[in-house]
Amino acid sequence: MQIGIVGLGRMGGNIGRRLMRAGHTCVVYDHAPQATEALASEGATGARDLGDLVAKLDAPRVVWLMLPAGKITEDTLNDLHKILGADDVIIDGGNTFYKDDIRRAGQLREQGIHYVDVGTSGGVWGLTRGYCMMIGGDEAVVKRIDPILATLAPGRGDIPETPGREGRDPRVENGYMHCGPVGSGHFVKMVHNGIEYGLMQAYAEGFHILRHKESKDLAEDERYSLDLADVAEVWRRGSVVSSWLLDLTAGALATDGTLERFSTEVADSGEGRWTIEAAIEEAVPAQVLSAALYTRFRSRDAESFPERMLSAMRFGFGGHHEFPVK
Amino acid sequence: MQIGIVGLGRMGGNIGRRLMRAGHTCVVYDHAPQATEALASEGATGARDLGDLVAKLDAPRVVWLMLPAGKITEDTLNDLHKILGADDVIIDGGNTFYKDDIRRAGQLREQGIHYVDVGTSGGVWGLTRGYCMMIGGDEAVVKRIDPILATLAPGRGDIPETPGREGRDPRVENGYMHCGPVGSGHFVKMVHNGIEYGLMQAYAEGFHILRHKESKDLAEDERYSLDLADVAEVWRRGSVVSSWLLDLTAGALATDGTLERFSTEVADSGEGRWTIEAAIEEAVPAQVLSAALYTRFRSRDAESFPERMLSAMRFGFGGHHEFPVK
Amino acid sequence: MQIGIVGLGRMGGNIGRRLMRAGHTCVVYDHAPQATEALASEGATGARDLGDLVAKLDAPRVVWLMLPAGKITEDTLNDLHKILGADDVIIDGGNTFYKDDIRRAGQLREQGIHYVDVGTSGGVWGLTRGYCMMIGGDEAVVKRIDPILATLAPGRGDIPETPGREGRDPRVENGYMHCGPVGSGHFVKMVHNGIEYGLMQAYAEGFHILRHKESKDLAEDERYSLDLADVAEVWRRGSVVSSWLLDLTAGALATDGTLERFSTEVADSGEGRWTIEAAIEEAVPAQVLSAALYTRFRSRDAESFPERMLSAMRFGFGGHHEFPVK
Amino acid sequence: MQIGIVGLGRMGGNIGRRLMRAGHTCVVYDHAPQATEALASEGATGARDLGDLVAKLDAPRVVWLMLPAGKITEDTLNDLHKILGADDVIIDGGNTFYKDDIRRAGQLREQGIHYVDVGTSGGVWGLTRGYCMMIGGDEAVVKRIDPILATLAPGRGDIPETPGREGRDPRVENGYMHCGPVGSGHFVKMVHNGIEYGLMQAYAEGFHILRHKESKDLAEDERYSLDLADVAEVWRRGSVVSSWLLDLTAGALATDGTLERFSTEVADSGEGRWTIEAAIEEAVPAQVLSAALYTRFRSRDAESFPERMLSAMRFGFGGHHEFPVK
């Protein structure tokens, strides 16, 4: 089927490529002309601006936005709002906060424009392997864009079937899920990323314990110098902690056992923070997911004010300070 | 090669079976005669007691213990200590605390008896799929028992190779690793289980946030009734959080979306606790692994004393209590 | 000076009383007529509604709101907005979210109405002991209402002076602080409550460890039956952990060592949650304050879904479940 | 009464002084002769070694050890073991691990020597204000040394009485408590220090949130530059979070609002670690106390290996790494 794609970065460009390889027709636009031209040279129809993109699509249109969450997505939506018509569909495939989806969909609905949010996981691996997608919106609209979704999804592959799924929605086993009303796709993707933080932190703590086992502070016969690359690799085989994140860890350690080329400052994105806020709104304890987020905050704190406070208090009750005990 | 196996529970029995299927010779003993007989009927040589087992093995002997950690393993080792001879090998394949390994190996070394600790992961899946093994001991001894280890391990299978591992120990990619001196096998297995707790808790918190998204306490247009079985399933396909634990979760949810048949009280084993103690000994922060352990402690606390204390304090400063403010 | 008070619950009523005892003039209103009458019988001028209250005050007026945060405060502000005039002052003494303060103050400023937010700590003890107050707003306006604030504050009392405070704002040592622009008073009060959660949880965990020291699971010569009431009491004398919360704890334990009359379900208020959200906005790790909040969430969770998930996974890899290992 | 004191550092010396001022007789010894002479010049009888100290005491003797926990205390106990006699009393006033108390008391009991453990809080403030003491041992022995304990304790002072304590052990309100059998004094002191860590961390996190409220990353009208010294001071007056630790914090901030002169690396002592180990032994969740300990560990970690692991994984799934997705 025909689709417009706005935003041709690593994700958006590869989405276009995967769709075209399967025979879909893509009209594409990026604010950087060379990105538009690059995809045009691979078979897409390039557009010079949003108006041109809309003009080149047959009504009712389908436009997939693959832009950084926040102002750019918001501005583009506002522009499209003015030039799209009834029964057109906007798909937001970026990392949008789900409450923004709900608000926007309500505004667009007044003009009869449909809105679908698609939480998309897969990174650059997606081009060849497909994208895991979590989708929010009206079922009729999600059905309408099914040819697109089915192409982008990984498909069943050789992953073992889960017993007991007979009679359930087969889309899910192909790697895409209609989660519920607008916003629910990005909500599920948000929690996915929150879990990702927790899993990563669990591995990081465990490997830290393994690494420090050679510490000079320990009794000599209780010290081990463990080969962390080998530990990660052996756990990939039949152990309970095998996972894709472990595969990546094994890969990183294989060529650099101390990971010295990697940053000690760890970024965090909106999803990790929103997950904790959602937990708090729901009164759900999220100890592990919070701890994972806080470790990243801590990694970027050069000032260490709270640690200074602890030192100040210790100094105080150690008695060097002129303050009377009660 | 020939091996003695002591302890024929689910793990020990299957280890014997996997070895015999590959042509190894097993002399087996369990304190329950029917367990011994069962394996004998499958081709093993049954022994009536430890002495009989030792008598039926050719020197230098190899004896694999697959017993519950603690007193039973300790007693069996003490008994074997008296009847084994120089150059014999004892393998402890159970979940022993690594400091006990170090102590025991030192005692056995005085008689020239070798000790190897093998942390074994794989559960009942191990019979068909093989066991992921983490091994501590002298390299010469570990080499001697390599035929056994190579048979028990999962092998390379169809797991994608990790780039950059050229020239590294090939045993690791077959699913077993010689980690270092005595105790290091159980130490690595211990941390493996600690990580396992953290991973499990990350998923549990994330799915809790998904589930409570239908809470009546939330604004009506921000509520979603999410199908958790489908979420777990879709994440198995190309998402960053795919793992074997997620596979298991998808399986459990597929047939029971509310998990009502599962216990609200969660047990913990020694490894989870020892991992935190190791972290503290090493002065390594283990926020996520601790939180995962504490959640299990909390799940079994029917008294809720600390919560009562919080209520008592709230009552106090709410002013109902006859206690003067400073 | 003259002041209007809206909301005559435990806090609002006592604020009026403390002001009248110091010679201030109070015009009071509560939506429950008997509450208005009660305070009128103690010397206040009762008002039948907001309009009557405004009419009975001399311009420029000062009106103190002491209402539950949220809709009631919002509605009352909207009503007052219409009937107050330029240079009048509204004080919100409740537990309002500081971002609501900022928004409201902006709206009121258009009519020249001033807005001051006062975070008020002290509970029912405040009548006799005074209220610790954290204040946000324009300095000129805060100065104007200083007679009110100085009366409500605890004063210097017999609390030892902090060395090094010479030349600093003397209001602070009298128990009230002008923190900064609008919202900053409630912001500081919010963090105060966040810290309060953390302190309470630290005591609760410590006393839990003391209490369980008599557990039958421990070695017999390592068990102690500790008198928790005595422990709390002795720590009030010269120890590092002495505090007002400890005083309250000692009081509660003195008459009920098991705290059986207190609830196992612990409520939380907006401030605890907003504190974590502020930490996340600022990218500040708040491990202890979050853990304290989550303990309260957990205390009210009867369903235990995440624990069931852990059990389901354990069941899965224990091998009872028909799901193939990778 | 007469007492021997071994170890005349800041704590031991002041204990001697406080006892002598109340008319007790002290025979003192420190391995540094000048420390012994210093106290002798203030009225004590100096001893040149342990044997001399024992010789100068009347049987049955009472010897108070005030030494660093660990090897020095252990060695001194072993030496005293040989030269003390039946019915003599050894008091360990240091920060000994309570399980060491239990072991040592058992060894000394064979010679009829009594052992009392005293957890002592108060630092250098103790000389003038008295020491809060938590005591383990046989009641008859604790009674025997009561004159010493009563002198060292802070006494009732002007701290408000706790209602409901009528008929309870009056020693407690004088600041010393007989907690139970040997080891229980140090156990209670250990948990005291664990709680102390948690309280300190709660304040540190809260003040961190206050301080970062001026961050340029926040919306301009939501930024506040708060005077932290004033906040700490105002909270000392009638607020729920008032405590001695807050008094110390107010003192530190009053002269140095950024705390730049204090270390960013925070030490931890045995008690904090042992408290977590006790919690784990008892299966008691200790989320806040652990988080406080881990913050200190983290403050001293210059390598940041776990953060590098997180970066490596992020790099991996961002797709720059040659590792195939499943």
Averaged pLDDT for residues A132-147: 98
| pLDDT attached to residue D123 | 75
Q: Do D238 and B325 touch (CB under 8 A)?
A: yes
Q: Do D284 and B300 touch (CB under 8 A)?
A: no
Report chain B residues whose CB lies below 8 A from the CB of D283.
Answer: 268, 297, 300
Do A250 and A110 reside in the same domain of the chain? no
- Cβ atoms of C315 and C307 within 8 Å: the answer is no
Report chain B residues whose CB lies below 8 A from the CB of D276.
Answer: 276, 280, 290
Dmax over Cα atoms in chain D, in whole Å? Answer: 81
Q: Would residue C314 count as lying in a domain?
A: no
| pLDDT attached to residue D36 | 98
Residue from the list A252, A321, A322 with its beta carbon closest to the beta carbon of D312 = A252
pLDDT tier, D155 (very low <50, low <70, confident <90, very high otherwise): very high
Token readout for C221 is 């010569």
Averaged pLDDT for residues D20-45: 97
Do D194 and D175 reside in the same domain of the chain? no
pLDDT in tens, C297-309: 999 999 999 999 9
- Cβ atoms of C265 and B307 within 8 Å: the answer is yes
Do D263 and D234 reside in the same domain of the chain? yes
Task: Look at residues B146, B66, B188, B129 and name the one whose alpha carbon lies nearest to residue A237.
Answer: B129
| pLDDT attached to residue C95 | 93
Do C150 and C193 reside in the same domain of the chain? no
| Cα–Cα distance for residue pair C81/C90, rounded to 1 Å | 9
Q: Would residue C170 count as lying in a domain?
A: yes
The residue written with tokens 């050719």 in the block is B58
pLDDT at residue B325 is higher than 50 = no
D12: domain CATH number is: 3.40.50.720
Domain end (from C126, C152, C181)? C181
Q: Per the residue annotation, which of B37, B74, B173, B196 is the catalytic one?
A: B196
Nearest Cα of chain B lies from the Cα of A51 at a distance, in angstroms, of 32
| Structural domain count, chain A | 2
Report chain D residues whose CB lies below 8 A from the CB of B298.
Answer: 285
Q: Would residue D62 count as lying in a domain?
A: yes
Name residue B27's beta-bridge partners: B4, B45
Beta strands in chain B (DSSP E): 2-6, 25-29, 45-46, 62-65, 89-92, 114-121, 132-136, 176-180
Amino acid residing at B157: G
- Cβ atoms of C3 and C147 within 8 Å: the answer is no
Do B174 and B200 reside in the same domain of the chain? no
Give D243's DSSP letter: B
Q: Would residue B287 count as lying in a domain?
A: yes
Q: Residue A292: closest CA among chain B residues belongs to which residue? A: B288
pLDDT at residue A322 is higher than 60 = no
B291 CB near a chain D CB, below 8 Å? yes
| Cα–Cα distance for residue pair A228/B240, rounded to 1 Å | 22
Under the phi-then-psi rule, with left for phi > 0, alpha for psi from -120 to 50, and beta for the rest, what region is A43? Answer: left
| pLDDT attached to residue C126 | 87
How much is the mean pLDDT over chain A? 94
| Cα–Cα distance for residue pair B310/B318, rounded to 1 Å | 12
For chain C, report the end-to-end CA distance as a whole number of angstroms. 78
D315 CB near a chain B CB, below 8 Å? no
| Cα–Cα distance for residue pair B124/B122, rounded to 1 Å | 6
Using the Cα atoms of residue C131, residue C137, residue C142 and residue C148 in order, give the sign of their dihedral: negative
Q: Per the residue annotation, which of A196, A205, A307, A322 is the catalytic one?
A: A196
Do B218 and B135 reside in the same domain of the chain? no
Residue from the list C162, C293, C325 with its beta carbon closest to the beta carbon of A238 = C325
Token readout for B29 is 């003993």
pLDDT tier, C323 (very low <50, low <70, confident <90, very high otherwise): very low
| pLDDT attached to residue C319 | 54
Nearest Cα of chain C lies from the Cα of A280 at a distance, in angstroms, of 7
CA angle D94, C228, D99 (to 5 degrees): 35
pLDDT at residue A72 is higher than 70 = yes
Q: Would residue D79 count as lying in a domain?
A: yes
Do D176 and D195 reside in the same domain of the chain? no
Token readout for A24 is 């879909």
Best residue in C192, C301, C308 for a mutation probing chain B (most B CBs within 10 Å)? C308
Q: Do B130 and A237 touch (CB under 8 A)?
A: yes
A279: domain CATH number is: 1.10.1040.10
Residue from the list B153, B164, B243 with its beta carbon closest to the beta carbon of A243 = B243
The residue written with tokens 């607020």 in the block is D239
C142 CB near a chain D CB, below 8 Å? no
Nearest Cα of chain B lies from the Cα of A56 at a distance, in angstroms, of 33
Residue B143: CB atoms within 10 Å? 11
Q: For residue C215, how many C-alpha atoms fall within 13 Å in the half-sphere facing its CB?
A: 17
Nearest Cα of chain A lies from the Cα of D83 at a distance, in angstroms, of 32
Q: Would residue A320 count as lying in a domain?
A: no
- Cβ atoms of D122 and D131 within 8 Å: the answer is yes
pLDDT tier, C239 (very low <50, low <70, confident <90, very high otherwise): very high
- Cβ atoms of C278 and C99 within 8 Å: the answer is no
B319 CB near a chain D CB, below 8 Å? no
| pLDDT attached to residue D319 | 54
pLDDT in tens, B5-23: 999 998 999 999 999 999 9
Report chain A residues whose CB lies below 8 A from the CB of D310.
Answer: 200-201, 204, 266, 295-296, 299
pTM across the whole model: 0.95
Report chain C residues whose CB lies below 8 A from the CB of D254.
Answer: 162-165, 168
| Cα–Cα distance for residue pair D288/D46, rounded to 1 Å | 46
Nearest Cα of chain B lies from the Cα of D280 at a distance, in angstroms, of 7
C229 CB near a chain A CB, below 8 Å? no
Q: Which residues contact A64 (CB under 8 A, 6 or more apart)?
A: A3, A4, A5, A6, A12, A15, A91, A93, A148
C276 CB near a chain A CB, below 8 Å? yes
Nearest Cα of chain C lies from the Cα of B174 at a distance, in angstroms, of 14
| Cα–Cα distance for residue pair D300/D201, rounded to 1 Å | 16
- Cβ atoms of A142 and A118 within 8 Å: the answer is no
Domain end (from A164, A181, A198)? A181
- A189 in active site: yes
| pLDDT attached to residue A326 | 33
pLDDT in tens, D130-141: 999 999 999 999
Token readout for D291 is 């988080």
Do A119 and A193 reside in the same domain of the chain? no
The residue written with tokens 């106390």 in the block is D289
Token readout for D178 is 């007989």
Window C:189-218, CB contacts with B under 8 Å: 200-201, 203-205, 207-208, 211
Name residue B73's beta-bridge partners: none
Name the phi and psi angles at B253, rounded to 5.
Answer: -70, -30
DSSP letters of C44-84? PEE-SSHHHHHHHSPSSPEEEE---TTHHHHHHHHHHHHH-
Domain end (from B151, B181, B211)? B181
pLDDT tier, B126 (very low <50, low <70, confident <90, very high otherwise): confident
Do A160 and A217 reside in the same domain of the chain? no
Averaged pLDDT for residues A76-89: 96
- Cβ atoms of C73 and C65 within 8 Å: the answer is yes
Which helix (H) or strand (E) segment holds residue A91: the answer is: strand A89-92
Q: Would residue B322 count as lying in a domain?
A: no
pLDDT in tens, A275-297: 999 999 999 999 999 999 999 99
Name residue B91's beta-bridge partners: B64, B116
Do A14 and A158 reside in the same domain of the chain? yes
Best residue in A309, A320, A323 for a mutation probing chain D (most D CBs within 10 Å)? A309
Averaged pLDDT for residues C183-199: 98
Q: Do A326 and D203 touch (CB under 8 A)?
A: no
Name the phi and psi angles at A22, rounded to 5.
Answer: -95, 5
pLDDT at residue A324 is higher than 50 = no
Do C221 and C134 reside in the same domain of the chain? no
- Cβ atoms of A135 and A159 within 8 Å: the answer is no
Share of chain B above pLDDT 90, in %: 90
pLDDT tier, D40 (very low <50, low <70, confident <90, very high otherwise): very high
| pLDDT attached to residue B319 | 54
Residues spanned by the domain of D117? 2-181
Amino acid residing at A179: C
| Cα–Cα distance for residue pair A274/A271, rounded to 1 Å | 5
| pLDDT attached to residue D89 | 98
- D189 in active site: yes
Q: Which residues contact B96 (CB under 8 A, 6 or more apart)?
A: B69, B73, B117, B186
pLDDT in tens, C91-144: 999 999 999 999 999 999 999 999 999 999 987 788 988 999 999 999 999 999
Q: Would residue D66 count as lying in a domain?
A: yes
Beta strands in B74-131 (DSSP E): 89-92, 114-121
Q: Do A279 and B225 touch (CB under 8 A)?
A: no
Do C99 and C170 reside in the same domain of the chain? yes
| Cα–Cα distance for residue pair B188/A209, rounded to 1 Å | 10
- Cβ atoms of D162 and C170 within 8 Å: the answer is no
Q: ω into residue C60 within 30 of 0, thus cis?
A: yes
| pLDDT attached to residue D323 | 34
**Distance (Å) of CA B282 to CA B43, B194, D99:** 47, 15, 21
Name residue A136's beta-bridge partners: A117, A180
For chain B, report the end-to-end CA distance as a whole number of angstroms. 78
